[in-house]
Structure 1
Amino acid sequence: MLRFEKLLMIGATSRNSGKTELASAFIKKFSKKNKIVGLKVSTYHINDSNFHGQQSLPLPDKYIIIKESEKSDKDTARMLNAGASEVYWLRTKVEYINEAVNEFIKLIDKTSFIVCESNSLTKFIKPDIFIMIRNNQKPDKDSATEVMKMADIEIISNGEKFVNFDISGIEIDKGKWVLRK
């Protein structure tokens, strides 16, 4: 597993659990003093067709990296609106995830901190911190069950708010994301 410094990863047990809301909160707080890049990763497996909320988009042959440039209500645009210097949506077939991440790394300033939404990426990369949001109103999706044990923090969501999390428990120190003790 590749160690990836300056990366804060956020996953969730189900869709619409607050990943983008939490990512945007981190971006808003830390972009005042640090260059923050937002990243949303969608991985596709054989027989995936209409999930990830974008049924009309074709699956990539290997992967595609899209740089967000518009202000809208899309997840990536919400991260941009929160203060990220750049935001990317990486859509990849699972077997090309390492290649796709290596290509993404070439696109960004090496001094940037990254706030990323992904469950699957955790199988391949060890971030500074991995946060898992558990929505206690919805069943867990398979990709979340596989990576739950890797989480540094588990946050409970009731679908509207986080019930056990204070953002001040995470900071940037000496070039990486850290948990306050």
Structure 2
Amino acid sequence: MRNIKKNILLIAGTGRNVGKTLFACRLIEELACKNELVCIKVSPHFHELNKELEIIRETENFIIAKENNKKGSKDSNRMFQAGSKKVYYVQAKDDYLPEVLSYFEKILSAETPVICESGGLRDLIEPGLFLMINKENNNNIKPRAIGYQKLADKWIEFNGDNFDFTANKIAFTNNGWKIKN
């Protein structure tokens, strides 16, 4: 059975530092629904968390924290600076993403616009929009990303400065994400 989440815009990339967060921030800046927008940054890499992060839920398998700091250069800081109402930072291996998703389903309504940066979540949900970001001349595309290419609603190339698709072509209407004509 498909787990359709029309209110989630999912951004994944072909690797690290390919422009995922930059595109998310440009999108946040464009959106009319900023005052309701929630962003979730998921990382499969575990490291010590910044003291400004408010830990909401912690198990031995994952950590969910709320970003409260608009200063700083971490991805979650940048999303908050761009105008998102709330930003959550999650550290979780893919095996525990169902538990993370279940937590967010309890605290966020299906009408809440959500931008989520996560590759692994695409295996669990069918989002309103699924965007794949690739850096031009990237010869080291992750195998999983190649599989996601056929699932992506839009494959976006990033040249280090600009994207071949602009964030103003995306809208959140009728509780779902869409690419404008």
Q: TM-score, normalised by structure 1?
A: 0.84
Partner of 1:65: 64
Unmatched 5+ stretches in structure 2: 50-58
Mapped pair 1:120 → 2:120: yes
Partner of 1:140: 141
Cα RMSD between the aligned structures?
2.1
Equivalent runs, 1:49-64 vs 2, <5 Å = 52=45, 61-64=60-63
1:129 Cα deviation from its structure 2 partner: 0.3
1:108 Cα deviation from its structure 2 partner: 3.4
| Contact 2:66/2:86, CA 8 A, preserved across alignment | yes
Given the superposition, is the C-alpha separation of residues 56 and 174 from structure 1 closer, same or farther in structure 2, using an over 3 Å criterion? closer
| Contact 1:68/1:86, CA 8 A, preserved across alignment | yes
Partner of 2:83: 83
Partner of 1:10: 11
Partner of 2:40: 39
Q: TM-score, normalised by structure 2?
A: 0.84
Equivalent pairs counted in the alignment come to 170
* CA distance in structure 1 between the partners assigned to 2:33 and 2:168 by the alignment: 15
C-alpha offsets along residues 82-109 of structure 1, whole Å, 9 cap, x if unaligned? Answer: 1111101121122221111111232335
Structure 2 residue matching 1:4: 3-state secondary structure: strand
Structure 1 residue matching 2:150: 3-state secondary structure: helix
Equivalent runs, 1:92-107 vs 2, <5 Å = 92-107=92-107
1:159 Cα deviation from its structure 2 partner: 2.5
1:79 Cα deviation from its structure 2 partner: 0.4
Mapped pair 1:30 → 2:39: no
Given the superposition, is the C-alpha separation of residues 81 and 95 from structure 1 closer, same or farther in structure 2, using an over 3 Å criterion? same
| Contact 1:137/1:159, CA 8 A, preserved across alignment | no
Letter of the structure 1 residue corresponding to residue 82 of structure 2: A
Partner of 2:52: none
1:134 Cα deviation from its structure 2 partner: 1.4
C-alpha offsets along residues 120-150 of structure 1, whole Å, 9 cap, x if unaligned? Answer: 1111111100010111233112332232221
* CA distance in structure 2 between the partners assigned to 1:65 and 1:108 by the alignment: 14
| Contact 2:169/2:179, CA 8 A, preserved across alignment | yes
| Contact 1:39/1:89, CA 8 A, preserved across alignment | yes
| Contact 1:134/1:157, CA 8 A, preserved across alignment | yes
| Contact 1:26/1:115, CA 8 A, preserved across alignment | no
Equivalent runs, 1:132-171 vs 2, <5 Å = 132-138=132-138, 139-162=140-163, 164-171=164-171
| Contact 1:120/1:143, CA 8 A, preserved across alignment | no
